[in-house]
Structure formats: C-alpha cells, structure tokens
Amino acid sequence: MNHSDRYPSRINENPSTLKRVDRVVYWSDKTKEGPLTKDTLLSYEKKGYLSLRGFFSPDEVQELRDELTKLWQENRGSTRKEVISEPQSREVRSIFAVHRDNTVFQNLSRHPRLVSVAEQILGSDVYVHQSRINYKHGFTGKEFYWHSDFETWHVEDGMPGMRALSCSISLEENYHYNGPLLLLPGSHQTFISCVGQTPESHYEQSLRKQEYGVPDQENLKRMVEQHGIDTMIGPAGTVVFFDCNTMHGSNGNITPVPRSNVFMVYNSVENRLVAPFSGQEPRPDYIATRD
Ligand code: 6CS
Ligand code: FE
C-alpha cells in the first residue's frame, strides 16, 4: 500500500514550506494520566520543546556518565558501523543503538519517567525509533548543522507522520559556550521541504556532516526572525524533550568542556515506519528500528 506523502521533500529543485498537518500533543485519556500538567503540555504544544532540569539525580547521571566513558574507551578507533567519527578526525562523534547494545542505556530507554512523558505527549504506546550518544568532546566536537529530524526520518526511514519526539539527556553541564542544543521555538509547525536528491547510503556521510535534507538559508533566516533561537543550557541531568519537527542544531565545541548528551527517540506505535519516501532502501536498523 503506497502511503500518500504528506510531507514531500528532496523532490523539487526549489525549497518550499508546508503547514504541519499533524497534532503536536495527541490529547487522549493517556494525556490526562501522564506526569505533565496541562499548562506544561500547552507550552510544549506551542514551543515544540520542553526543558526539565533535575529530571535525573546526580547519582543517576554519574552512572550514565561512567557508562558513556566506558563506551568511548571501548569504541575509540572502532570500525563498528554504529560508531560514527567526526568529519575530519578519528574522534568518536556518536554511538548509535545504545538502547539495543548496552544494558545501562537499554534500562534508560525504558525508564518509566521518560516513557511516561513520551506516551503522554504522543497519546499512545511508544517504541524506541533511534538512540545515540553524541559526545561533542572538548576541543574536537564538531557542529550539527540546522535540521528537522523528521525531514530525515520521513524521507530516509519512511516515518509517515509527525508523532515522534526526542529526549536529549545532558550528562555534562551544557553552558552557552560548549555547543549546547539550539532550538527554534514554534518552528515545529512548519515543514521545510528541502531541495536535492538523497544520495545512495546517505547516512554513511550525513551522520558525520549532514549536507542533504538541510533547510535553505532563506527559509532558515525567516524562521529565526519569526521564532528566535533558544539555547538549551542547564546542569547535567536536564532532559530536553523536543518534537520530531522542531528545527535544531548545535555549534562546535572549542572549549575544554565536553558536552556529552544521550538521545532517546520515541515513535508512536500508530506511526510505524513504512517504505522510505525517497524511494530508496530503508536505512539500517541501528539508525531506525523497524522490527
Ligand atoms: O539522520 C538521523 O537520524 C540523525 N541525524 C541528525 C542530524 N539528527 C537526528 C539523527 O540523529
Ligand atoms: Fe537532530
């Protein structure tokens, strides 16, 4: 069955914008039972993100940070496909599928306080679409250019609609200077249709430095003028929940202070992946869970 493509991208040679047609908060009985108050949900619906400080205690953070360091030591110079190095060096940039391959991060992906927020916002049971550690080491951590995750997950993974969210869990203090997550509040209501054709096996390059499926500068400029840029600073243990279509990025880290975050992406079971809208082969399971 061919799913109609409600968010066509990387098809035309000119960029365009589309109004979001999906809900942000899937108000349902689950919404009433969940941990977030109605006001908090309304704020998430308006801004497309939510930052909760002190979500994890210093002890919980320390256990995650120790595991993150252990994984980094074990995977330095690794040729495993889940290990992504920085564009110009062998420095570890990201490790994918930690929810699948590592017990500590598997437990984290099933943490009731995380899952209950995701289920409340998405109004259904959820599953992990993707997990990754972004190390952004001191001195060598490079930028993540502006993008909407959903644009990639729709085109390259076949995610039908906007019913997914990311949790960025800070394992180090995120200052304004060590490459914190930058979000455009309210940008989730607009889908920027990107230009260009998705190269074959694009992920082998895009996870190091994304060049296709990135929004054009004119639309980005307009979005920043309209919404402004929020910088997600906060102590380790802060969790930022953001909608799959919230425009975001982060700068490089030339300071000595690492900015290591772990990301858990939850998708609604009502929004399971179909054939990629690029018409290409699906990306591997360590990037997009399909089973
Ligand atoms: O392609 C992806 O799925 C990954 N790329 C970016 C820049 N953010 C989402 C995800 O980690
Ligand atoms: Fe992203």
Average pLDDT of span 83-100 = 91
Condensed to tens digits (0 to 9), the pLDDT of residues 23-68 reads: 999 998 878 889 999 999 999 999 999 999 999 999 999 999 999 9
In a domain, 97, yes or no: yes
Could you give the CA distance from residue 251 to residue 182 in angstroms, rounded to a whole number?
Answer: 8
Specify the ligand 1 atom closest to the Cα of 94.
11
Domain that holds residue 2: 1-129+189-249
What CATH number has the domain bearing residue 30?
2.60.120.620
In a domain, 259, yes or no: no
- Residue 211 is predicted with a pLDDT of 82
CA of 60 to the centre of ligand 2 (A): 24
In a domain, 84, yes or no: yes
Q: Is the CB of 152 under 6 A from ligand 1?
A: yes
C-alpha closest to that of 125 among 134, 135, 115, 133: 115
Higher pLDDT, 96 or 213: 96
In a domain, 150, yes or no: no
Closest ligand to residue 142's CA = 1
Q: Is the CB of 210 under 6 A from ligand 1?
A: yes
Condensed to tens digits (0 to 9), the pLDDT of residues 202-219 reads: 888 888 888 888 899 999
Q: Is the CB of 151 under 6 A from ligand 1?
A: no
Q: Is the CB of 172 under 6 A from ligand 1?
A: no
In a domain, 181, yes or no: no
Helix (H, G, I), strand (E, B) or coil at 149: helix
| Number of separate domains in the chain | 1
In a domain, 36, yes or no: yes
pLDDT of 1 > 60? The answer is no
In a domain, 180, yes or no: no
pLDDT of 270 > 90? The answer is yes
Task: Output b/e per residue, 66-79; b: 16+ Cβ within 10 A.
Answer: ebbeebbeebeeee
What does the CA dihedral 16, 283, 209, 46 come to, rounded to 10 degrees?
A: 50
Among 210, 264, 283, the mutation site with the greatest number of ligand 1 atoms within 8 A of its Cβ is 210
In a domain, 10, yes or no: yes
Could you give the CA distance from residue 49 to residue 229 in angstroms, rounded to a whole number?
Answer: 12
Q: Which residues neighbour 225 within 8 Å (Cβ) at sequence distance 6 or greater?
A: none
Tokens (6 digits) for 187? 């940008």
Could you give the CA distance from residue 224 to residue 247 in angstroms, rounded to a whole number?
Answer: 10
What pLDDT band is residue 107 in, cutting at 50, 70 and 90?
Answer: very high
Residue in the structure block whose two tokens are 């809208």 = 277
Instruction: Return the residue whose CA atom lies nearest to atom 8 of ligand 1.
Output: 149
What pLDDT band is residue 87 in, cutting at 50, 70 and 90?
Answer: confident
Q: Is the CB of 94 under 6 A from ligand 1?
A: no
